[in-house]
């Protein structure tokens, strides 16, 4: 791919971009407001995504009529957030991208609207990846937070580059606005899929960092795909077989826990293993997407079992272990067409698990013998296990 713009440094947001903290803390406000007999308003909370701590806190107190000050609110809710941050994991594609850019000498910065104290707690969940950043900035370290450009201008200054030579990767709309105002190029990876239509000012919009191509920005390309397959941190799920779509491909009936360990940013064609109580464990290719057509807003999953002995039966329970990524969905206004699983996808999904590069996941099949997913699936030894 030819570079559309050459950049010399990359600046990342943290929450919802690098770490899945927003899903991990999704019920914190509900729990806190419940002590006051209040219930969160989803529409209002969506608009708060990416806001500065004080702005967000002031808005929450006003919107729900809480009889407390900003300081009292922060002191009371902080322990709840610290506990939930421990459940956060790097989002798909993050580890691969950070290691690749760092290895190739690309200057990296982290710029978040979170206050620095909170960043220091959360960044620990990145493990050794936190050492890839030569600059780390919080919203309390600049005069104005996002959507003002201050934090990106300061990050570029500390990196020793011009803001126009930077690429910013963001999940929130306020972050995208701030990055554009700084003069940087912006890749948006929205954490709220319902707001994807609001991100048109970004230079590029992705579903996840699995689809990021460094060469588009004049950066060294990845060279880690093997026969069309890309290794990723395994994702464990459970669901039921739904109606047939086409050529032995079936819809997946999602239960309450189906997407517990699958981030909202996940979209595309994946492969791994599926376990049926009747037929045992077999290879499978799975397409995951979002139906954002008028009047709809829902996740959709299709599965193609790669075993001729498997006879699909509606509502047959399945456990899924996805270990690799093939490609993004096709461009189509029709969600079923976009999620079509091709013969090439099937060939990749059939062969890839047996390649040496995926041999470490052979033992991961044991995850399919575990009980149902817990309240929130936490990573353990690299797998999303109970």
Neighbours of 231 (CB within 10 A): 18
Determine the 3-state secondary structure of 235 from DSSP: strand
**HSE on the CB side for 189, CA within 13 Å?**
27
Q: How far apart are CA 228 and CA 342, in angstroms?
A: 13
Query: Catalytic pick from 13, 150, 171, 345?
Result: 13
- Token couple for 232: 């990723």
- The sign one gets for the Cα dihedral 173, 179, 184, 187 is negative
Query: Catalytic pick from 15, 211, 260, 264?
Result: 15
Strand partners, 273: 283, 321
The alpha carbon of residue 261 and the mean position of all alpha carbons in its chain are separated, in whole angstroms, by 11
Contacts of 367 (CB under 8 A, 6+ apart): 234, 236, 321, 383, 384, 385
C-alpha separations of 56 from 203, 246, 266, 309, 349 in Å:
27, 47, 27, 55, 44
Q: Categorise residue 26: left if φ over 0, alpha if ψ from -120 to 50, beta otherwise.
A: alpha
15 is annotated as an active-site residue: yes
Q: How far apart are CA 25 and CA 33, in angstroms?
A: 14
Q: How far apart are CA 84 and CA 82, in angstroms?
A: 6
- Token couple for 272: 């791994």
Q: How far apart are CA 231 and CA 228, in angstroms?
A: 10
CA angle 264, 270, 273 (to 5 degrees): 110
Q: How far apart are CA 271 and CA 346, in angstroms?
A: 9
Q: Please, are residues 77 and 28 in contact by the beta-carbon 8 Å criterion?
A: yes
13 is annotated as an active-site residue: yes
Active-site positions? Answer: 13, 15
């Amino acid at each position: 791919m030819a570079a559309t713009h050459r950049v010399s440094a990359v600046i990342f947001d943290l929450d919802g971009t690098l770490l899945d903290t927003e899903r991990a803390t999704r019920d914190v406000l509900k729990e806190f407001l419940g002590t006051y007999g209040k219930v969160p308003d989803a529409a209002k909370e969506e608009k708060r995504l990416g806001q500065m701590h004080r702005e967000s806190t002031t808005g929450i107190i006003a919107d729900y009529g809480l009889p407390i000050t900003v300081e009292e609110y922060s002191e009371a809710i902080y322990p709840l957030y610290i506990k939930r941050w421990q459940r956060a994991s790097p989002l798909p594609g993050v580890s691969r991208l950070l290691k690749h850019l760092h290895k190739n000498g690309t200057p990296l910065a982290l710029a978040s609207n979170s206050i620095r104290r909170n960043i220091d707690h959360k960044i620990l969940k990145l493990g050794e990846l936190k050492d890839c950043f030569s600059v780390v900035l919080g919203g309390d370290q600049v005069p104005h937070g996002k959507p003002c450009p201050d934090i990106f201008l300061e990050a570029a200054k500390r990196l020793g580059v011009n803001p126009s030579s930077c690429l910013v990767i963001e999940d929130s709309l306020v972050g995208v606005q701030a990055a554009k105002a700084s003069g940087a190029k912006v890749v948006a990876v929205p954490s709220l899929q319902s707001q994807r239509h609001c991100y048109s000012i970004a230079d590029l919009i992705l579903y996840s960092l699995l689809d990021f191509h460094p060469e588009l920005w004049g950066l060294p390309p990845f060279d880690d795909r093997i026969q069309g397959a890309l290794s990723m941190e395994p994702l464990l799920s459970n669901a039921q077989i739904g109606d047939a779509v086409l050529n032995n491909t079936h819809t997946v009936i999602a239960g309450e826990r189906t997407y517990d360990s699958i981030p909202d940013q996940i979209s595309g064609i994946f492969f791994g293993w599926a376990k049926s109580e009747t037929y045992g464990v077999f290879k499978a290719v799975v397409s995951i997407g979002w139906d954002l057509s008028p009047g709809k807003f829902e996740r959709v999953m299709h599965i193609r079992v790669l075993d001729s002995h498997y006879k699909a039966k509606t509502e047959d329970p399945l456990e899924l272990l996805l270990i690799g990524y093939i490609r993004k969905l096709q461009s189509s206004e029709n969600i079923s067409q976009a999620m079509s699983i091709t013969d090439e996808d099937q060939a990749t999904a059939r062969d890839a698990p047996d390649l040496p590069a995926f041999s470490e996941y052979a033992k991961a099949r044991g995850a399919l013998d575990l009980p149902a997913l817990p309240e929130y699936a936490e990573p353990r030894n690299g797998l999303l296990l109970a």
